[in-house]
Structure 1
Amino acid sequence: MSQNGCIKCGSTNADKKEVAMTGTGLSKMFDVQNNQFIVVYCTDCGYSEFYNKKSSTGSNIFDLFFG
């Protein structure tokens, strides 16, 4: 079965943004945000998926989100 759109609401409206987060241990203690992700989210219901920026390519992220 092929599914297109958001897995929660079926919408095909999505956007993406980049975020950085701290890790654990010393990076958390010194607020070093060395973990970078691309967040793809449904603009209708807010469902979000995080993708590691270092292992993802920009054009393929929407393909992963929409199945």
Structure 2
Amino acid sequence: MSGQGCVKCGSRDAAQKEVAMTGTGLSKMFDIQHNQFIVVYCKNCGYSEFYNKHSSSTSNILDLFFS
């Protein structure tokens, strides 16, 4: 990993997970979760950033979190 660490606390202890969310309108009404994201979060303070899973072409999203 590169960069200075978490922008909030400076910790270098981070993790990531995939999440899905509903949109608006009919997808919300029928609980269709077609919006997929990768969440990178600091294990120390909980600061989180969301990255669109389908538009992210980076090889290591954790590097983005720490840059």
Higher helix share: 1
Moved over 4 A (4+): none
Cα RMSD over matched residues?
1.3
- TM-score scaled to structure 2, two decimals? 0.90
**Is 2:11 the counterpart of 1:38?**
no
User: How far apart, CA to CA, are the structure 2 residues paired with 1:15 and 1:59?
Assistant: 15
Q: Which runs of 5+ in 1 are unaligned?
A: none
Q: What is the DSSP-based 3-state SS (H/G/I as helix, E as strand, rest coil) of the residue aligned with 2:60?
A: helix
- The two structures have a TM-score, normalised by structure 1, of 0.90
Kindly provide the amino acid, as one letter, of the partner of residue 16 in structure 1: Q
- 1:49 is the counterpart of 2:49: yes
How many residue pairs get aligned? The number is 65
Which amino acid is 1:38 matched to?
Answer: I
Q: Which has the higher contact order (CA 8 A, sep 6+)?
A: 2
Shift of 1:57: 4.1
